[in-house]
Each structure stands twice: as C-alpha cells, then as structure tokens.
Amino acid sequence: MTIRTVIVDDERLAREELRGLLAAHEYVDIRGEADSPRTALALVREIKPDLIFLDIEMPGMNGFDFLDALPPPHPCIIFVTAYDAFAVRAFEVNAMDYLMKPVRPERLGAALDRARARLAAAPEDGAEPDTPPQQERPFREDDRIFLRDGDRCWFIPIADLRLLEADGNFTRLHFRGDKPLLYRTLFSLEKRLPESLFVRANRSQIVNIRHIVGVHPWFSGGVKIVLTDGTEVEFSRRQTRALKTRTGI
C-alpha cells in the first residue's frame, strides 16, 4: 500500500529532516512539500494526499487554520511540532498522531503504522472521513490518547490503561504508576473504549482484560480479579457472565 504524502512546514531544515526519516519507509510516497499553509492548500487540492505531516506554528496561518480552510474529506493528519501545548486541540480535530521535534524514528514508525491501519479501513479514495469534533469516534486498540491532569501530561497507548474508576462525575485512570483524574464521566468514556480490551466490572469500575492476572470466586456468583499491579476488583454476577463470555474463563 502506497501512502501519498505531503509535508507542510515553514522550516526548510525540518522538512529535510522529516523527508530523510521517511525515506526508511518505502511505502511513503512524498508527493510534495509546502513552506506555508496557504501554499499547501493548493497543493493538497491538486495532489489529494492520503497523509499530511503538518506543523502548527507557522506565519500567517497556523496548522489548525489550515485544517479549517481545507474542504472535507480530510486526509490523515500527523502534527509535527516543537510545542506540546497544542496536543489537546490536535486530538480534538481527530489528528492521527502528534510528534514532537526532533522526531524520533521509532515514534514516526508507530505513527505510520496507525496511518496505514486507518487508511486500509477508509473509503476507496483513501480519505479519512471528516468527523466533527463533537462526534467523538470510538478508540481503536492501537490508538494513543493524550491526557492532562493539572500541569502533568501523558501521551500513552490506550492498551496501557489498566483500570478506570468513577470518581463522582469524573474518572480516575490507572496506568503504569500514574492515576490522573479525567473530567469525563465513566459512562461517556465506556462508549468509546474498544470492547476487545475493556469490560465493565461493576457500576464504578472498568478493567482492561489484558491486565488481568488472577480470577477468584466471590460472593453471589461474582468473581474478584487481580490486575497486574496487584489491584483487586470485584465483578458483579451479571458482569461476571460478560467476563466469562469475553475471556472463556
């Protein structure tokens, strides 16, 4: 599968560096470069790329202004920037990934893998359907998600989420050694989680089945599971049936 690609960055050296990194991926066909969003608009209309590597901070028009001016359907977008302050907004516009300069080859490879997977499932013209920000798409198993809690930020694979717990109208996310609070309800998040990874344990907890290391009988036909960090979670009888169906326990 060949991916028609355009690079948009006002810095010549940044474009050259990215082009050099992309040379290691023979399926990436760089059809053009632009040193400004205004130039890129005409280029994209002509080439109709599958993928755009897009800088954010550019004179005259920034990367988000460019997307607003670009008629749908939009191609896949991978932001490449020296600033992490725009990450939340980037994912609000359904960006494929958010790479920080200087770009690391392994992060670029992971972003391209996701782009290939999404394009393989896209319509025949290769364009990513234009999804309004308010119509949040379901997460995929290989997605990475951006999280912020106060001054701390994370950008992690969704598969790293071990446990989600309701905390009033918010949700506490457990991954690695961190437990940030997300200002979203557990119910709203559950609708977007991939069913292949996550299962509800009870009214206030959802677990990632890949992180289950132990299962023990519990009261009233339920079970107590043990996660990779030693956390114990009780499954109601109803959710125990769902867990058994999903895992074959």
Task: Give the pLDDT confidence of 166-208 residue by residue, as tens digits.
Answer: 988 789 999 999 999 988 889 888 989 999 999 999 989 999 9
- The mean per-residue pLDDT over the stretch 213-226 comes to 90
Dihedral (C-alpha) 89, 149, 110, 141: value to the nearest 10 degrees? -100
CB-side exposure of 76: number of CA atoms within 13 Å? 24
CATH number at residue 70: 3.40.50.2300
106 shares a domain with 25:
yes
163 shares a domain with 114:
no
Radius of gyration of the chain (CA): 21
- pLDDT tens profile 87-105: 877 877 778 899 999 999 9
79 shares a domain with 155:
no
pLDDT of residue 72: 80
Domain hosting 149: range is 144-247
Q: CB under 8 Å to 170, separation ≥6 — which residues? A: 181, 182, 183, 184, 185
Give the DSSP letter string of 152-190.
EEEEEEGGG--EEEEETTEEEEEBTTB-PEESS-HHHHH
Is residue 52 a part of any domain in this protein? yes
| Residues 90, 98 contacting (CB under 8 angstroms) | yes
Is residue 131 a part of any domain in this protein? no
227 shares a domain with 154:
yes
- pLDDT tens profile 124-165: 444 444 444 344 578 889 888 888 877 788 889 999 999 999
Is residue 62 a part of any domain in this protein? yes
| Residues 160, 143 contacting (CB under 8 angstroms) | no
Angle between helix 12-22 and helix 105-120 axes, rounded to 10 deg: 70
The one-character DSSP state at 70 is S
Handedness of CA 130, 134, 138, 141 (dihedral sign): positive
- The mean per-residue pLDDT over the stretch 110-118 comes to 89
Is residue 67 a part of any domain in this protein? yes
Domain final position from 120, 154, 182: 120
Is residue 134 a part of any domain in this protein? no
**This prediction's pTM:** 0.56
Cα(75)–Cα(71) distance, integer angstroms:
10
Cα(17)–Cα(19) distance, integer angstroms:
5
By CB atoms closer than 10 A (0-12, 13-18, 19+), residue 45 is: exposed
H or E element that contains 240: helix 237-247
CA angle (240, 243, 245) in 5-degree steps: 110
Q: Is it the case that residue 26 has pLDDT exceeding 60?
A: yes
37 shares a domain with 109:
yes
pLDDT of residue 134: 40
74 shares a domain with 176:
no
Q: Is it the case that residue 18 has pLDDT exceeding 70?
A: yes
pLDDT of residue 136: 59
Is residue 92 a part of any domain in this protein? yes
166 shares a domain with 94:
no
151 shares a domain with 234:
yes
9 shares a domain with 108:
yes
Strand partners, 7: 33, 53
Beta strands in the chain (DSSP E): 3-8, 28-34, 51-54, 76-81, 97-100, 144-149, 152-157, 163-167, 170-174, 181-182, 198-202, 205-208, 212-217, 223-227, 232-235
153 shares a domain with 97:
no
- pLDDT tens profile 31-64: 999 999 999 999 999 999 999 999 999 988 899 9
CATH number at residue 159: 2.40.50.1020
59 shares a domain with 26:
yes
Is residue 59 a part of any domain in this protein? yes
Number of domains in the chain: 2
Is residue 43 a part of any domain in this protein? yes
115 shares a domain with 35:
yes
